[in-house]
């Protein structure tokens, strides 16, 4: 299976996916890493691993999301991915874009969905006094951070945790969960994985 990955920043999740796919005996290989930010550090990390990269700056398109997505679709469709992974991708995608990849588009979200869709998930978990937090890999649908859950990993919330310390603990689990879910998904197995 051909996998394209969309990033917006450092791409630590993207790197975890690339490393796992490079380990061989994997049903998928990365065909493109694309970003909405030409300065995304993840682009250089992907290129250093020999993966094709593309950057489409969303800023010139202003509020015209569809125009940005048309530009993004050019390198994306040229790579002919079977699966599209969002990994720290911070742009909301229109239903028109999502529908093109219906049933074969994944995202990792730093909360135990359905709790805390959207932003500032760790701060919200702390403010709620949750004993646990974590991350979710889900199929992307037109509704933000909704869609079938394909995997979750949990971490304890510890006394004295800040949003940063909790985020770091969750991120470590993201790097375990996302590669494990992609392996299954690329092999046609949609059984949810709970780490």
Active site residues: 109
Smallest distance from the beta carbon of 97 to ligand GRF, in angstroms?
A: 19
184 is in an annotated binding site: no
Binding mask 48-87 for ligand GRF (x = CB under 6 A): ---------------------------------------x
Q: By CB under 6 A, what part of segment 143-182 binds ligand GRF?
A: 171, 174
Beta-bridge partner residues of 84? 4, 105
- Judge contact between 11 and 41, C-beta under 8 A: yes
Rounded to a whole number of angstroms, the distance between the first and last alpha carbons of the chain is 24
Tell me if 134 contacts ligand GRF by CB under 6 A: no
Identify the residue among 3, 6, 13, 68 touching ligand GRF (CB under 6 A).
Answer: 13
User: Is 107 part of any known ligand binding site?
Assistant: yes
The least distance separating ligand GRF from the CB of residue 106, rounded to whole angstroms, comes to: 11
- On whether the CB atoms of residues 105 and 98 are closer than 8 A, the answer is yes
Beta-bridged to residue 193, according to DSSP, are: 151
Pick from 11, 134, 147, 151 the residue near ligand GRF by CB under 6 A.
11
12 marked as binding residue: yes
CB atoms within 10 A of CB 112: 21
- Which residue is listed with tokens 């990033």? 7
Q: Strand, helix or coil at 17?
A: helix
Residue nearest to ligand GRF (CB): 88
The smaller minimum CB distance to ligand GRF, of residues 28 and 108, is found at: 108
Q: What burial class does residue 140 get, using C-beta atoms within 10 Å of its C-beta: 0-12 exposed, 13-18 middle, 19+ buried?
A: buried
Asked if 185 contacts 150 with a C-beta cutoff of 8 angstroms, the reply is: yes
Q: Name which of 55 and 70 has its Cβ closer to ligand GRF.
A: 55
Residue pair 118/141 in contact (Cβ under 8 Å)? The answer is no
Binding residue numbers: 11-13, 65, 107
Binding residue numbers for (6R)-10-formyltetrahydrofolate: 65, 107
Q: Catalog residues that contact ligand GRF under the rule CB under 6 A.
A: 7, 9-14, 87-88, 108, 110, 171, 174
């Amino acid at each position: 299976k051909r996998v394209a990955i969309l990033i917006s920043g450092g791409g630590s999740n993207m790197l975890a996916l690339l490393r796992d796919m490079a380990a061989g005996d994997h049903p998928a290989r990365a065909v493109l890493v694309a970003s909405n930010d030409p300065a995304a550090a993840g682009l250089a990390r992907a290129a250093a691993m020999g993966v094709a990269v593309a950057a489409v700056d969303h800023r010139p398109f202003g509020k015209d999301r569809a125009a940005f997505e048309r530009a993004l679709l050019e390198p994306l469709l040229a790579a002919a991915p079977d699966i599209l992974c969002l990994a720290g991708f911070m742009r909301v995608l229109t239903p028109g874009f999502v529908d093109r990849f219906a049933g074969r588009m994944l995202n990792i979200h730093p909360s135990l969905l359905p709790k805390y869709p959207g932003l500032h998930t760790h701060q919200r978990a702390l403010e709620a006094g949750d004993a646990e937090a974590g991350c979710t890999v889900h199929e992307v649908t037109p509704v933000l951070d909704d869609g079938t859950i394909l995997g979750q990993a949990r971490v304890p919330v510890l006394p004295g945790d800040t949003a940063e310390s909790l985020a770091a603990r969750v991120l470590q689990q993201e790097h375990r969960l996302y590669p494990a879910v992609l392996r299954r998904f690329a092999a046609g197995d949609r059984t949810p994985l709970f780490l």
